[in-house]
């Protein structure tokens, strides 16, 4: 295995033409540097859970790409145009127009973030005893489906659970699995199919246009609704442009709209694609469902013209929606994620292939084959990365999967991963180099590593607040 310690830099290869971000930096935020002794103390105090670290103790923060993106000068200017009227803020109408123009749905209800919208749609359309098929679970999405009395059923293609498969659309739904569920439980027990663009837990893997269209036809045959988790749908549309026949010459915004038009509605965590600190929405084409959502939002989120967001947040979001669909923005965004992933792959470090849209996922199962899943290999790896360099990552394995609500046992997901999520427009290529070198240093120490035991476990979404101790 040849292991160049210094990554290839721009211009090193004669004749190479590099890409660059379509923006320049106007404001900077200093990063606090930590010593090894400080990090030892901080991670022990945090119970070996990176969610419990103080952000001041982190150098490069790849915990999440959620709410951590850099706003543009246009978005910041938008903050100054906030109309903070309790009802009927003009910023709400801008947001509504942006959702209609770019996503194409008729009716929109704002929420404070994605899970607020998940709560609304789950409570409105799921009845106790229902089944909700989807292309792999997401933590908050599944929990809201369960809290409404539903059971989530994974119908993603098998390749999605295989970190080394190079399938270009690992987010696709396996229509045979969906058909089998319909045959087994009956279409009347399936209120909707829960389809996510670039599947987070599978490694940021996209769904093809051909797949969503075939899925639509199957849903129509049985009168089942098709709802989209649009959180990272812009990135999904970019992958279609890059990989699917017939889309190379279409602008991402057009592909995006075509995809959304194939679905009946969507929920959105605007903190990702749309590059705002907070916000979300639910949008549907069905007026009856909209009426229920608009009524329910006042109970849990806020009036239907702000839903938990300030007027200024809605303005920045309306602008962010438009910016999120620029082709050159997405090329640079996904290009940066790919740069980090390819560097790690070149060094022989096991990651989920192909590199996805928002993050590079380290395969903790293959990095620590000697640590059993019940001793939390991915959680262990997040702690080691932090100790090495102050790099913050997130566990996406057995801790995130939680317990089966019926049996109370740990769910054992096939994928035991650590996610390095890249915030949009925030870090430079040098930060990616430093990150890759830290992963390499931790990887080189892999054989000595032992696992963790869980010493505190909260009832819901345990990964956020669980505490661990070294074995
Ligand atoms: N759906 C997906 C695919 C998500 O990734 C998230 C959040 C949500 C829904 C919920 O949205 O956080 O605004 O309430 N994902 C974050 C992450 C937390 O780090 O991946 P939210």
DSSP 386-421: HHHHS-B-EEESHHHH-B-TTT-PBP--S--EEEEE
Contacts of 88 (CB under 8 A, 6+ apart): 305
Q: How far apart are CA 364 and CA 370, in angstroms?
A: 10
Catalytic residue, from 57, 130, 229, 273: name it.
Answer: 229
Q: How far apart are CA 93 and CA 161, in angstroms?
A: 41
Among 168, 241, 176, smallest CA distance to 205 is for 168
Q: How far apart are CA 168 and CA 410, in angstroms?
A: 31
Q: Identify the segments of the chain with pLDDT beneath 70.
A: 1-14
- Delineate the domains of the chain, giving CATH numbers in brackets: 10-61+326-470 (3.90.1150.10), 73-323 (3.40.640.10)
Q: What values do phi and psi take at 410, rounded to 5?
A: -55, 140
CA dihedral 230, 282, 316, 78 (to 10 degrees): 140
Q: How far apart are CA 119 and CA 142, in angstroms?
A: 10
Residue with tokens 């709560």: 119
For residue 196, give the ligand 1 atom closest to its CA. Answer: 3
Is residue 271 within 6 Å of ligand 1 at its C-beta? yes
Among 98, 81, 69, 85, smallest CA distance to 312 is for 81
What's the gap in Å between 458 CA and the centre of ligand 1? 19
How many other CB atoms are found less than 10 A from the CB of residue 61? 20
How many other CB atoms are found less than 10 A from the CB of residue 400? 24
Bridge partners for 420 per DSSP: 360
The terminus-to-terminus CA distance of the chain in angstroms comes to 32
Site to substitute for ligand 1 among 200, 266, 301, most atoms within 8 A of C-beta? 200
- The pLDDT value recorded for residue 165 is 97
Residue with tokens 């704002």: 110
> What are the tens digits of pLDDT across the range 183-236?
999 999 999 999 999 999 999 999 999 999 999 999 999 999 999 999 999 999
Q: Please, are residues 195 and 173 in contact by the beta-carbon 8 Å criterion?
A: yes
What's the gap in Å between 63 CA and the centre of ligand 1? 12
Among 89, 110, 96, smallest CA distance to 281 is for 110
Can you say whether residue 11 is alpha, beta or left, with left for phi > 0 and alpha for psi between -120 and 50 degrees?
left
- The pLDDT value recorded for residue 12 is 56
Catalytic residue, from 103, 131, 137, 138: name it.
Answer: 138
Query: Which helix or strand (DSSP H or E) is residue 196 part of?
Result: strand 192-196
Token output for 79: 């903050």
Q: Please, are residues 243 and 209 in contact by the beta-carbon 8 Å criterion?
A: no
Token output for 103: 């996503």
Q: How far apart are CA 379 and CA 463, in angstroms?
A: 9
- The number of residues in the chain equals 471
Is residue 103 within 6 Å of ligand 1 at its C-beta? no
Q: How far apart are CA 281 and CA 239, in angstroms?
A: 24
- The pLDDT value recorded for residue 18 is 84
Token output for 125: 């359309």
Contacts of 223 (CB under 8 A, 6+ apart): 187
What's the gap in Å between 379 CA and the centre of ligand 1? 19
Burial class (CB in 10 A: 0-12, 13-18, 19+), 338: middle
- The pLDDT value recorded for residue 445 is 97
- The pLDDT value recorded for residue 1 is 40
For residue 200, give the ligand 1 atom closest to its CA. Answer: 3
Q: Please, are residues 198 and 232 in contact by the beta-carbon 8 Å criterion?
A: yes
Q: Please, are residues 197 and 233 in contact by the beta-carbon 8 Å criterion?
A: yes
Q: How far apart are CA 329 and CA 322, in angstroms?
A: 11
């Amino acid at each position: 295995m040849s292991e160049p310690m210094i990554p290839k830099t721009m211009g090193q290869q004669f004749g190479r033409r590099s890409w660059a971000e379509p923006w320049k930096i106007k404001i900077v935020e200093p990063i606090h540097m930590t010593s090894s002794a400080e990090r030892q103390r901080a991670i022990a105090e945090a119970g070996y859970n990176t969610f419990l670290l103080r952000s001041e103790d982190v150098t490069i923060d790849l915990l999440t790409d959620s709410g951590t993106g850099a706003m543009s000068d246009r978005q910041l200017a938008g903050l100054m145009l906030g109309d903070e009227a309790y009802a009927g803020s003009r910023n709400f109408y801008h947001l509504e127009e942006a959702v209609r123009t770019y996503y194409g749905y008729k009716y929109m209800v704002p929420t404070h973030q994605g899970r607020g919208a998940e709560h609304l749609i789950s409570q409105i359309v799921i009845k106790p005893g229902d089944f909700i098929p989807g292309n792999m679970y997401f933590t908050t999405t599944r929990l809201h489906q369960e809290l409404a009395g539903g059971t989530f059923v994974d119908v993603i293609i098998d390749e999605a659970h295989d970190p080394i498969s190079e399938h270009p659309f690992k987010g696709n739904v396996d229509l045979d699995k969906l058909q089998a569920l319909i045959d087994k439980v009956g279409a009347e027990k399936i209120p909707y199919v829960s389809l996510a663009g670039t599947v987070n837990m599978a490694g940021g893997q996209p769904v093809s246009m051909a797949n969503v269209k075939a899925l639509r036809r199957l849903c129509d045959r049985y009168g089942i609704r098709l709802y989209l988790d649009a959180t990272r749908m812009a990135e999904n549309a970019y992958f279609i442009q890059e990989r699917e026949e017939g889309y190379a010459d279409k602008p991402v915004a057009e592909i995006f709209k075509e995809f959304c038009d194939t679905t009946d509605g969507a929920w959105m965590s605007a903190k990702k694609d749309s590059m705002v600190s907070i916000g979300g929405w639910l949008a549907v084409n069905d007026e009856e469902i909209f009426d229920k959502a608009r009524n329910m939002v006042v109970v849990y989120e806020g009036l239907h013209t702000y839903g938990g967001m300030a007027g200024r947040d809605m303005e920045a979001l309306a602008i962010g929606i438009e910016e999120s669909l620029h082709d050159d923005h997405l090329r640079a965004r996904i290009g940066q994620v790919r740069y980090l992933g390819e560097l790690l792959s070149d060094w022989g470090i096991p990651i989920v292939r192909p590199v996805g849209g928002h993050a590079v996922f380290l395969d903790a199962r293959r990095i620590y084959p000697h640590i059993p899943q019940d001793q939390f290999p991915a959680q262990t790896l997040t702690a080691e990365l932090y100790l090495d360099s102050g790099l913050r990552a997130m566990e996406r394995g057995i801790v995130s999967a939680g317990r089966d609500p019926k049996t109370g046992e740990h769910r054992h997901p096939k994928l035991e991963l650590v996610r390095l999520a890249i915030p949009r427009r925030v870090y430079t290529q040098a930060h990616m180099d430093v990150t890759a070198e830290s992963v390499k240093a931790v990887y080189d120490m892999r054989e000595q590593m032992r696992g963790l035991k869980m010493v505190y476990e909260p009832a819901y979404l345990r990964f956020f607040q669980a505490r661990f101790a070294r074995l």
